[in-house]
């Protein structure tokens, strides 16, 4: 499962205070044990404009809004390649994130979503 932290567009180097943050403790039901995992996987900017939907404010902030950006990029990647392999998509998104070469950051995952870099990884791995 890919999880996304939110970052304000004007402060994209930092995870927003209201964002989902890690790490996460997961309860494994088959062994009744706990496992701590590094989450989120990456960060995306929030402040998505939402028009005419429910009671959302015009500017929608938070991890849910940031995840919409990641979902849109992933959908475009699937459309470009026809490949919907979840592990490969997650790898391309996290490896192309700005800051992925730094150590894993507990709050921001691999770094900030970078759609251009994600598509360049597609081109590199086609041939």
User: Which is it for the CA torsion 95, 101, 103, 108, positive or negative?
Assistant: negative
Among the ranges given (6-10, 20-24, 118-122), the one the predictor scored with the smallest mean pLDDT: 20-24
Q: What is the mean pLDDT of the chain?
A: 81
Domain-wise residue ranges, the chain: 4-126
Is residue 17 classed as helix, strand or coil in its secondary structure? coil
pTM: 0.79
The CATH code that applies to domain 4-126 is: 3.40.50.200
Among the ranges given (49-63, 64-78, 112-126), the one the predictor scored with the smallest mean pLDDT: 49-63
* Pairing assessment for the beta strands 42-45 and 4-7 based on DSSP bridges: parallel
Which two tokens mark 67? 């995840």
Residue pair 108/43 in contact by the 8 Å Cβ criterion: yes
Phi, psi of 51 (to 5 degrees): -115, 125
User: What pLDDT score was predicted for residue 12?
Assistant: 72
User: What pLDDT score was predicted for residue 108?
Assistant: 79
pLDDT digits (tens, 9 = 90+) for 110-123: 889 999 999 888 77
């Amino acid at each position: 499962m890919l999880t996304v932290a939110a970052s304000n567009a004007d402060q994209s180097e930092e995870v927003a205070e209201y964002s989902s943050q890690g790490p996460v403790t997961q309860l494994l039901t088959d062994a009744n044990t706990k496992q701590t995992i590094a989450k989120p996987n990456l960060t995306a900017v929030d402040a998505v404009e939402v028009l005419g939907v429910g009671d959302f404010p015009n500017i929608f902030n938070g991890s849910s809004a940031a995840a919409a950006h990641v979902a849109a990029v992933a959908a475009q990647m699937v459309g470009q390649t026809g490949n919907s392999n979840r592990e490969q998509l997650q790898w391309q998104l996290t490896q192309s994130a700005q800051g992925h070469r730094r150590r894993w950051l507990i709050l921001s995952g691999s770094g900030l979503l970078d759609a251009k870099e994600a598509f360049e990884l597609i081109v590199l791995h086609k041939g």
